[in-house]
A and B are shown apart, each in its own frame.
Chain A
Amino acid sequence: MIAKINQHKNQITWISGTLIIAAILSKLFHLSGLSNSFLIIATVIAIVPIAIKAWQAMIMRTFSIELLVFIAVIGAVFIQEYTESAVVTFLFLLGDYLEARTLEKTRSSLKELVDMAPQEAILLHADGSREEIDIDLVEEGNRLVVLPGGKIPVDGRIVKGHALINEAAITGESIPANKAENDRVYSGSILDNGYIEIIAEKVGEDTTFAKIIELVEEAQESKSSAERFLDRFANYYTPAVVILSLFVFAFTRDLHLAITFLVIACPGALVIGAPVSAVAGIGNGAKNGVLIKGGDIMEKFAKVDTLVFDKTGTLTKGKPTVTDFHNLTSMPTRKLLALIAKAETISEHHLGQTIVKEAEKNGIDLSRFQITESEAIKGNGITATVDGYSIVAGNRKLMNGKGIKINSGASIYAIEREKAGNTAIFIGINGELAAIISIADQIRDDAKAALADMRANGVKRIIMLTGDNRHTAEAVANELGIDEFHAELLPNEKVEYVKKLKDQGAIVAMAGDGINDAPAIATADIGLAMGEGGTDVSMETADVVLMADKLSQYAHAFALSKATIRNMRQNIFIALAVVVILLLGVLADQVHLAGGMFIHEGSVLVVILNAMRLIGFKTKIASEAGKTDGRQREKLVA
């Protein structure tokens, strides 16, 4: 029964509206008896859904706005103000309807994302036949086919074929990526053209796409301190209004005034004003590849004045390549590279992995070598024994520690390479310096513009912390105009540094990638993770995740947070101003019940419309990044 009434609330609203028009027409023809009956019927019909909600809230021991309206309408009928009772109930229901419609709009960004979720997959049987199955039936290890225009159904790895894949749903990035065998693909991305077969690795709720949606949903629920304050405020405010209106009645003996007061003082726009801004803002972020985990995070993010960056993988692309191999021995370079690369296979550090890749690129088969002993020395390098050679690979500190001498010629060479922006890796074999490998990483294309944009938005200090050497760090810092840099730091020293900044009163945002930055990210007021491909650790510990690893997204997120907080303040101001002005108007006998209700519902719509502006919020930097995407796409197509 109750469900039925709720379902037909819209019809109830329209019937009540029609009856009111009929009443006005009858009055024009001086049929006041008929007019009054229309109004009474309208009131009775429209009060039902309101009464149900008021009652249900009462059972839950919450004071609802519906209760205030219900009391007021009963009072209005009692003093035979049928026009007012009918108009108030109608406006209340109409407001409810418009609110639901506009709220849907503020939530639309998330809905668009959810709608991108794949519904079915094409299963490839062992005999080569294909079968279309529901997405929920896909299991890990299934072999699936994806055709042009189709959605990648689950997270997996390509085992056959290659394709251009649009990963906008995950990264917000619109240039399709070229993917081939062994590359990972993500649920929710779209195959532009090509053909691939994949093995499912993560299905259902475990896919990156499902996790993103869950994070955004949770983020939209988490409340900013302003929202929490308003919630508490409303809890006391609503019962207080009832008591106050009793006072008004006691003092003035004017039931009409007391009822008007009761309706006008409803906290409508106040309760909804702040949360709609947060929801719209978070939705905008998600659409642009930035996950901001809640209104409280936006509030703090907007106050950030100090940015701390990791260098490698954050300010730079994190895809280093070997730029020079300086051989100091009489051994052939190819053999030397092979030995070092074999030793580096134990390293999880990206520099070590770069050397391994370099060897593979040169067609060296590392499985022919034997590694016996090995140790990774965190932040410094590795030691290993390969085919009987004792190999030490790492920085100066490690060479000193192992008693390997760096003569002045080698030292000058290394510093030169570093000043040119390379990282120099020293290699010792059997206690002698054997080689210096230069590895360089490019600065991200959008880094300079993004930093400038954030400075313009109120960031006072930009600091870079890196485990890399001083010279390389300096080259990057100079190029980007960074205020301060600290090089050759271990992960725990980065944490100490962030703590020190916080103690000095700075509000710090720390951006980094990978697991080694996780402690510093967690220590900062706002932690940002570069989430390309969405590693679980970075997505869960960080406050803000940049899905496409773009610094322009960082700048967008910062500007967006500021805009959202501004929007929230505007809404709170609008709501308070309307209530105060209306109350004064009521006490001065200038505002009446129906008119007051109209303005009241209007103010609710105004705050929602104001919040909706955030859905389309754009920053120059993000749209410029979009333009270059377009150009690159044209190139790809050509």
Chain B
Amino acid sequence: MAKAVMQLETLTCPSCMKKIQGTLEKMDGVNRAKVLFNSSKAKVEFDESIVTKEDLKKIVEKLGYQVLNVKTA
């Protein structure tokens, strides 16, 4: 199980947060996703054998939000 922290562009509406969180959680291989509204970060626990961090980044960008950087631990 890997953990990724994505720094997103500044989030301004709480509903964007729900949107990103919901979409990430529905992805195959994603265990848990949490979007921090005030620090504009998405924390994701995922299975590396099913999805990659690039996939995570792509899906958030498809929703229309910029991903500034992704850190994995």
Query: B39 an interface residue at 8 Å Cβ cutoff?
Result: yes
Assembly CA distance A57 to B17 (angstroms): 10
CB contacts under 8 Å to A, within B14-68, are 14-15, 18-19, 22-23, 36-39, 41, 61, 63-66
Q: Which of A5, A104, A231, A275 contacts B10 (CB 8 A)?
A: A104
Query: A62 an interface residue at 8 Å Cβ cutoff?
Result: yes
Query: Is the pair B63, A56 in contact by a Cβ cutoff of 8 Å?
Result: yes
Assembly CA distance A3 to B37 (angstroms): 19
Query: Is the pair B73, A205 in contact by a Cβ cutoff of 8 Å?
Result: yes
Assembly CA distance A405 to B54 (angstroms): 75
Task: Point out the residues of chain A lying under 8 angstroms from B10, CB to CB.
Answer: 100, 103-104
Say yes or no: A217-B38 contact (C-beta < 8 A), given A60-B19, A205-B73: yes
Closest to A49 in B: B64
Task: Point out the residues of chain A lying under 8 angstroms from B19, CB to CB.
Answer: 56-57, 60, 62
Query: Is the pair B66, A3 in contact by a Cβ cutoff of 8 Å?
Result: yes
Query: Is the pair B22, A103 in contact by a Cβ cutoff of 8 Å?
Result: no
Query: A26 an interface residue at 8 Å Cβ cutoff?
Result: no
Query: Is the pair B64, A62 in contact by a Cβ cutoff of 8 Å?
Result: no
Task: Point out the residues of chain B lying under 8 angstroms from A306, CB to CB.
Answer: none
Task: Point out the residues of chain B lying under 8 angstroms from A114, CB to CB.
Answer: 39
Query: A496 an interface residue at 8 Å Cβ cutoff?
Result: no
Q: Which of A52, A62, A103 contacts B15 (CB 8 A)?
A: A62
Task: Point out the residues of chain A lying under 8 angstroms from B13, CB to CB.
Answer: 53, 64
Task: Point out the residues of chain A lying under 8 angstroms from B18, CB to CB.
Answer: 60, 62
Q: How far is the CB of A600 from chain B (nearest CB, A)?
A: 16
Assembly CA distance A103 to B13 (angstroms): 10
Q: Which of A99, A204, A221 contacts B36 (CB 8 A)?
A: A221
Query: A110 an interface residue at 8 Å Cβ cutoff?
Result: yes
Number of A-B contacts (CB under 8 A): 59
Query: Is the pair A107, B73 in contact by a Cβ cutoff of 8 Å?
Result: no
Task: Point out the residues of chain B lying under 8 angstroms from A3, CB to CB.
Answer: 61, 64-66
Closest to A1 in B: B64
Task: Point out the residues of chain A lying under 8 angstroms from B65, CB to CB.
Answer: 3, 6
> Contact residue range for chain B?
20 to 34
Query: A624 an interface residue at 8 Å Cβ cutoff?
Result: no
Closest to A3 in B: B64
Query: Is the pair B64, A6 in contact by a Cβ cutoff of 8 Å?
Result: yes
CB contacts under 8 Å to B, within A253-280, are 271, 275, 279
Task: Point out the residues of chain A lying under 8 angstroms from B63, CB to CB.
Answer: 2, 56
Assembly CA distance A60 to B41 (angstroms): 20
Task: Point out the residues of chain A lying under 8 angstroms from B41, CB to CB.
Answer: 217
Assembly CA distance A136 to B18 (angstroms): 31
> Per-position contact with B for A92-104: 1 when CB-CB < 8 Å, else 0?
0000100110011
Assembly CA distance A3 to B22 (angstroms): 19
Query: Is the pair A2, B64 in contact by a Cβ cutoff of 8 Å?
Result: yes
Closest to A106 in B: B38
Query: Is the pair B12, A99 in contact by a Cβ cutoff of 8 Å?
Result: yes
Task: Point out the residues of chain A lying under 8 angstroms from B36, CB to CB.
Answer: 217-218, 220-221
Say yes or no: A217-B22 contact (C-beta < 8 A), given A3-B66, A6-B64: no
Task: Point out the residues of chain B lying under 8 angstroms from A110, CB to CB.
Answer: 38-39
Q: How far is the CB of B45 from chain A (nearest CB, A)?
A: 14
Q: How far is the CB of A118 from chain B (nearest CB, A)?
A: 15
Task: Point out the residues of chain A lying under 8 angstroms from B61, CB to CB.
Answer: 3
Closest to A213 in B: B39
Closest to B17 in A: A221
Q: Which of B14, B22, B38, B73 contacts A204 (CB 8 A)?
A: B73
Q: How far is the CB of A587 from chain B (nearest CB, A)?
A: 28
Say yes or no: A221-B12 contact (C-beta < 8 A), given A62-B18, A204-B73, A205-B73: no
Q: How far is the CB of B41 from chain A (nearest CB, A)?
A: 7
Q: Which of A64, A100, A205 contacts B12 (CB 8 A)?
A: A100
Query: Is the pair B14, A52 in contact by a Cβ cutoff of 8 Å?
Result: no
Say yes or no: A64-B15 contact (C-beta < 8 A), given A2-B64, A3-B61: yes
Closest to B22 in A: A60
Task: Point out the residues of chain A lying under 8 angstroms from B23, CB to CB.
Answer: 60
Assembly CA distance A221 to B37 (angstroms): 7
Closest to B41 in A: A217
Closest to B39 in A: A217
Q: How far is the CB of A115 from chain B (nearest CB, A)?
A: 13
Task: Point out the residues of chain B lying under 8 angstroms from A6, CB to CB.
Answer: 64-65
Assembly CA distance A324 to B29 (angstroms): 66
Closest to A97 in B: B12
Q: Which of B15, B22, B38, B39 has the most CB of A within 10 A?
A: B38
> Per-position contact with B for A146-159: 1 when CB-CB < 8 Å, else 0?
00000000000000
Q: How far is the CB of B23 from chain A (nearest CB, A)?
A: 8
Assembly CA distance A217 to B7 (angstroms): 13
Task: Point out the residues of chain B lying under 8 angstroms from A62, CB to CB.
Answer: 15, 18-19
Q: How far is the CB of B67 from chain A (nearest CB, A)?
A: 10
Query: Is the pair B38, A220 in contact by a Cβ cutoff of 8 Å?
Result: yes
Task: Point out the residues of chain A lying under 8 angstroms from B38, CB to CB.
Answer: 107, 110, 217, 220-221, 279
Closest to A99 in B: B12
Assembly CA distance A56 to B12 (angstroms): 15
CB contacts under 8 Å to B, within A87-125, are 96, 99-100, 103-104, 107, 110, 114
Q: Which of B14, B64, B66, B73 contacts A56 (CB 8 A)?
A: B64
Assembly CA distance A221 to B42 (angstroms): 12
Task: List the interface of chain A (C-beta within 8 A of B).
Answer: 2-3, 5-7, 52-53, 56-57, 60, 62, 64, 96, 99-100, 103-104, 107, 110, 114, 204-205, 217-218, 220-221, 231, 271, 275, 279
Q: What 4 A-B pairs come out closest when comparing CB atoms?
A: A2-B64, A220-B38, A100-B12, A217-B39
Given contacts A100-B12, A217-B38, A220-B39, 9 further A-B contacts (CB under 8 A): A3-B66, A57-B15, A60-B19, A60-B23, A62-B15, A64-B13, A107-B39, A218-B36, A221-B36
For this complex, 22 residue pairs linking A to B, each with C-beta atoms less than 8 Å apart, are A2-B64, A3-B61, A5-B64, A6-B64, A7-B66, A56-B63, A60-B18, A60-B23, A62-B15, A62-B19, A64-B15, A103-B12, A107-B38, A110-B38, A110-B39, A205-B73, A217-B38, A217-B41, A220-B38, A221-B37, A221-B38, A279-B38
